[in-house]
Amino acid sequence: MPKRLGVLTSGGDAQGMNAAIRATVRAALDQGADVYGIYEGYQGMIDGGNYIRRVNWAASGGILHKGGTILGTARSPEFRTREGRRKAVANLLRHGIDRLVVIGGDGSLTGASLLRQEWKGLCQELVEMGEIAQTLADAHPYLTIAGLVGSIDNDMYGTDMTIGADSALHRITDAIDAITSTAASHQRAFVVEVMGRNCGYLALMGALASGADWVLIPESPPNLDDWETKMCAILGEGRKSGRRDSIVVVAEGAQDRNGNPITAEMVKQTLEKHLDEEARVTVLGHVQRGGSPSAYDRVLSTLVGAAAATTALAAGEDDESMLVGIHHNKITFLPLMECVHKTHELNDAVRNLDFAKAMELRGKNFQDSFRILRTLIRSMPHPPTPGQKRIRFAILNASGPAPGMNAAVRAAVRLAVDRGHIPVGVYRGFRGLINNNLEEFQWMSVNGWAPIGGSELGTSRKVPSGGDFYAIAKSLEENKIDAILMVGGWAGYHSMLRLYQERTTFPAFNIPLICIPATINNNLPGTELCIGADTALNSIVEVVDKIKQSAVASNRCFIVEVMGRYCGYLALMSAIATGAERVYLHEEGVTLRELEQDIAMLKEGFEHGKRLGLMIRNENANPLYTTPFLAALFEEEGGSLFDVRISVLGHLQQGGDPTPYDRILATRLAAKSIDFIEKYYQKGEADESAAAIGLLAGDFHFTPLYEIPRLMDEKSQRPKEQWWMELRPIAKLLAQPGPGFHSDQT
Ligand code: ADP
């Protein structure tokens, strides 16, 4: 008999739960299991009947982009009782289900763990009560659990990100951006309350991403008794120095050092009293749970969902229940109970006012972000220390614009000024450096830059050559530049490499040269992710969702061409996030044989009732098999079964306001780059003083520029090793028609 797997969502809903359901169902079906949807969480498990139903490939189609959960979710007090759990076991056994994928918060996962522990005992009780036969109990000696964390709060130990947290952050950042514009028009103060009872993740990251002026989180309350006076003094000074608004972000669980709640209303009253101006409160509430999941949540949920099904189906009696999470872009499996205990420990630390422990348990990224935020929100920088070396560094953007570049420049400028240094903005990339188009920047020069897309400094693709080096050297000397900080893509990296290579000829280049990766293509060495790629991915996903909606009524296949130059990151990730059936990458090439197979797949699908086809093609996947060529081929071969349309997404992928992730990444990379400049400004001739910063395995790394030629596939302008290539099989598995079904919806 095939293995039988149940999947349920429980507790608070979160965007991305549907994507996790889809992946769990399809991966399990692919492995030959029977899959059951358990509706309305644990209550459905207790009530049985129609709440537990077989699901097939098609039933899990058309849900990837939907918020909420198609299975429904509920809070079930009855499941907290042994009797309730016994009823649940009886219903599971009626269907022969002894494997579960549970998608929920720490409460739901605690419940799941308990069910597994009690399984044998509850089965025995059911036999004794005459509810089930001994043979049935014997056939299911144990229950296997794989847990996925669905929670917008990002409050669970055992995964870097919970399902829904990134989408919630999108909602929060959008809201604060919108509030900022109205607040600035009226010169008003706003207090924004965001979710998070024990966890300040959403408040902290929302504030960091939106450039808010103050944040209150449960784990690290203000450490002064009269914090209200301090906060109002800083906000007041900020106004005097030119800010037109004040935004305070409050986590719903914010408290003072004595554990007294700090509510949004209290903050509003404080602001009105001290600043003598009207303040408004916005409680974001359930808006944060709503809406379509972000690209990241769709990809995350897809990966952990498929992994959860696989591990739940493979586990034996002695295998522990696992929490399937993500750490440094890799799927992880940790003992479920350990994760639940650690999460409780953290919540207890917050409740018991042990703030040092709470911050420690939240981890390094959280602490770093909090520290950075505390500097960025200052109304004015610390004055330079008398006698300190004030480093003058040039900061510029290069290559194509990437959303998040401005956030990086803002953070670098402010963090540097706060340490007494002098940033010098260069307009229009290396062209500006050649033409001596530079200007000293102050704290307020970058005010309000965090949410703006594009490049305020201006950028160019110019790579210096010949006489340009002399002009640049002169410009650096005239402006007394001690370091260069470049935020940009491949042309920028290439330019910085050229300066490094010219050091022997031009001593002016013997200064720290630091590159921050910013390109939507995500094709730079020494980093897993570049600033801008997340925004581009979300832009693609949004448009493809619309295209899919437009196409379902008419048998149609869409070929969507996305950017990326020769790097397939955007193509593959958007295919996973939208459920495209096929993705064409330059890395894999395109052959006629494969195209024939694709045509056969499309024809068979449309013959069996499919109404929509979706193929995503990287712009340079193949020089001859172009997008129009593919369209003509499919159109001709498809005959009357379906027609074909092309959508070349073009520059909308480079535009748009940066996503919270891109803003936060930009800010954190900029902070580390300032540390780098301080470290090397006296060792400018050292080879290590010319480097590119990046995020590798979750940590910041500096790759010396001399390593770059070795790491790059020069011809295709992409790194030789690309971590995301290993995600290709999952994209393929989930989107194609599954066993015995021809889904019309992906
Ligand atoms: P979340 O899963 O989002 O943390 P809850 O804490 O409300 O949400 O838990 C959801 C459901 O999980 C509860 O209604 C209950 O049915 C079950 N549950 C939670 N905690 C336990 C527990 N300690 N024992 C048994 N079941 C639990």
pLDDT tens figures, 210-232 = 988 899 999 999 876 788 888 89
Three-state secondary-structure class, residue 119: helix
Tokens of 440: 């000293």
Nearby residues of 601 by Cβ (< 8 Å), 6 or more positions away: 581, 582, 736, 737
DSSP string, 218-280: SSS--SSTTHHHHHHHHHHHHHHTT---EEEEEETT-B-TTS-B--HHHHHHHHHHHH-S-EE
Nearby residues of 609 by Cβ (< 8 Å), 6 or more positions away: 742, 744
Q: Is 248:212 a contact under the CB 8 Å cutoff? A: yes
Three-state secondary-structure class, residue 581: coil
The amino acid sitting at 79 is F
What are the angstrom distances between the C-alpha of 321 and each of 109, 114, 118, 551? 10, 11, 13, 42
If you ran DSSP here, which 8-state letter would residue 584 be given? E
Tokens of 687: 């080879």
Mutate to test the pocket of ligand 1, among 110, 113, 347 (most ligand atoms within 8 A of CB): 110
Mutate to test the pocket of ligand 1, among 75, 162, 195 (most ligand atoms within 8 A of CB): 75
Establish whether 153 is a catalytic residue: yes
Nearest atom in ligand 1 to the alpha carbon of residue 74 is 14
pLDDT of 388-437, one tens digit each? Answer: 899 999 999 999 999 999 999 999 999 999 999 999 999 999 999 999 99
pLDDT of 238 higher than 70: yes
Residue 554: the pLDDT is: 81
Q: Is 52:44 a contact under the CB 8 Å cutoff? A: yes
Confidence of residue 742 (pLDDT cuts 50, 70, 90): very low
Nearest atom in ligand 1 to the alpha carbon of residue 79 is 16
Task: Check pocket membership of 111 for ligand 1, CB cut-off 6 A.
Answer: yes
Residue whose CA is closest, atom 27 of ligand 1?
111
Q: Kindly tell me the sign of the dihedral angle through the C-alpha atoms of 723, 725, 731, 732.
A: negative
Place of tokens 């491949």: 490
- Look at domain 392-531+658-714 and name its CATH class: alpha beta
Instruction: Please tell me the pTM assigned to this model.
Output: 0.95
In angstroms, what is the span from residue 105 Cα to ligand 1's centroid?
A: 8
pLDDT of 379 higher than 80: no
Task: Check pocket membership of 180 for ligand 1, CB cut-off 6 A.
Answer: no
Residue 737: the pLDDT is: 65
Bridge pairing between strands 513-517 and 690-696: parallel
Nearby residues of 303 by Cβ (< 8 Å), 6 or more positions away: 23, 326, 331, 727, 730
pLDDT of 96-116, one tens digit each? Answer: 999 999 999 999 999 999 999
In angstroms, what is the span from residue 263 Cα to ligand 1's centroid?
A: 26
Nearest atom in ligand 1 to the alpha carbon of residue 12 is 3
Task: Check pocket membership of 114 for ligand 1, CB cut-off 6 A.
Answer: yes
pLDDT of 746 higher than 60: no
Domain formed by 165-288, architecture: 3-Layer(aba) Sandwich (3.40)
Q: What is the percent of the chain with per-residue pLDDT over 70, rounded to a whole number?
A: 98
More confident residue, 157 or 226: 157
In angstroms, what is the span from residue 106 Cα to ligand 1's centroid?
A: 7
Residue 278: the pLDDT is: 87
More confident residue, 634 or 198: 634
Residue whose CA is closest, atom 10 of ligand 1?
11
Average pLDDT over residues 66-70: 95
Q: What fold does the segment set 4-162+293-327 form as a domain? A: Rossmann fold (3.40.50)
What are the angstrom distances between the C-alpha of 375 and each of 321, 467, 667, 679, 735? 42, 41, 12, 20, 46
How many residues in total does the chain contain? 746
pLDDT of 184-201, one tens digit each? Answer: 777 788 999 999 988 999
Q: Is 548:560 a contact under the CB 8 Å cutoff? A: no
The distance of Cα 261 from the centroid of its chain, to the nearest Å, equals 30
Nearest atom in ligand 1 to the alpha carbon of residue 151 is 3
- How buried is residue 631: exposed, middle or buried, by Cβ count under 10 Å (0-12/13-18/19+)? buried
Number of other CB atoms surrounding residue 197 within 10 Å:
15
In angstroms, what is the span from residue 460 Cα to ligand 1's centroid?
A: 54
pLDDT of 745 higher than 60: no
Nearby residues of 508 by Cβ (< 8 Å), 6 or more positions away: 472, 473, 474, 476, 477
pLDDT of 566-607, one tens digit each? Answer: 999 999 999 999 999 999 999 999 999 999 999 999 999 899
Tokens of 688: 């290590």
Domain with CATH 3.40.50.460 in the chain: 165-288, 535-656+728-735
Tokens of 21: 């359901």
Residue 237: the pLDDT is: 85
**Cα 555 to Cα 610: distance, rounded to the nearest angstrom:** 7
Domain range 535-656+728-735, its CATH number among 3.40.50.460, 3.10.20.30, 3.30.2130.10, 2.40.240.20: 3.40.50.460
Domain with CATH 3.40.50.450 in the chain: 4-162+293-327, 392-531+658-714
> Average per-residue pLDDT in the chain?
93
Average pLDDT over residues 260-286: 92
* H or E segment and range at residue 492: helix 490-501
Residue 346: the pLDDT is: 93
Q: Which of 13, 34, 106, 153 is catalytic?
A: 153
Residue whose CA is closest, atom 19 of ligand 1?
107
Confidence of residue 738 (pLDDT cuts 50, 70, 90): low
Confidence of residue 75 (pLDDT cuts 50, 70, 90): very high
Task: Check pocket membership of 676 for ligand 1, CB cut-off 6 A.
Answer: no
Residue whose CA is closest, atom 7 of ligand 1?
11
pLDDT of 743 higher than 50: no
Task: Check pocket membership of 42 for ligand 1, CB cut-off 6 A.
Answer: yes
The closest of 8, 57, 60, 53 to 30, measured between CA atoms, is 57
Tokens of 723: 């971590």
Task: Check pocket membership of 69 for ligand 1, CB cut-off 6 A.
Answer: no
pLDDT of 536-559, one tens digit each? Answer: 999 999 999 999 888 767 899 999
The closest of 529, 564, 530 to 653, measured between CA atoms, is 564
**Cα 361 to Cα 347: distance, rounded to the nearest angstrom:** 10
**Cα 440 to Cα 437: distance, rounded to the nearest angstrom:** 11
Bridge partners, 488 (sequence order): 398, 517
